[in-house]
Amino acid sequence: MVYLTRKAEFSASHYYHNPAFTPEENARIFGKCNNPNGHGHNYTLEVTVKGAVDPKSGFVVDLKQLKDVMSREVLDALDHRFLNKEVPEFFTKIPTTENLAIAIWQRLAPKLNAAQLHRVRVYETPDLFVDFYGEA
């Protein structure tokens, strides 16, 4: 079993708000992130896949295919977007880094047929990242 990781970057804006909370609760729990006009990050995405090394190609996965799936399923949908307003997952869920990692996993997992998705890591800043391994 060999693990292969591909990185990508995207920039997006978001804000944190739960309509079930009062304005005071939203402000207390989410702090500055509750600003309804949004704010942005340069996100770094790391997608790790795993599999046996193919004896013919020497690959775990064709990197070109992985790059294409990441571009089509994730970057095209998220890059330079306002997550709350333009990405369907976040019409109802708060676009925290946790939920972003889960949403990216759910977008990629069904599209990666050759290799098995192992981990999605999303850096919101260099000092904060979330890992999702597909655990329930």
Partner 1 sequence: MKAHLTRRYMFSASHRLHSDEMSVEENRATYGKCNNPYGHGHNYTIEVTVSGPVDDQTGMVCNLVDLDGFVHSQILERYDHQNLNVLPEFARQVPTTENLCVAIYEIVKRGFRKAHLEKIRIEETMMNSFEYSGE
Residues in contact with partner 1 by CB under 8 A are: 16, 18, 20-21, 29-31, 93-99, 101-102, 126-133, 135-136
For partner 1, the closer of residues 26 and 61 by Cβ is: 26
First to last CA, the chain: 23
For partner 1, the closer of residues 60 and 103 by Cβ is: 103
Q: Report the Cα 95 to chain-centroid distance in Å.
A: 10
Query: Measured between alpha carbons, how far is 47 from 70 in angstroms, rounded to an integer?
Result: 8
Residue 127 neighbours by CB distance under 10 Å: 6
For partner 1, the closer of residues 59 and 82 by Cβ is: 82
Least gap, CB of 116 to partner 1 (angstroms): 18
For partner 1, the closer of residues 88 and 126 by Cβ is: 126
Catalytic residues: 33, 80, 124
The maximal CA–CA distance of the chain, rounded, in angstroms, is 61
Residue 122 neighbours by CB distance under 10 Å: 26
For residue 108, give the nearest of 118, 98, 117 by alpha carbon: 117
Only one residue has tokens 């019409």, namely: 91
Least gap, CB of 62 to partner 1 (angstroms): 28
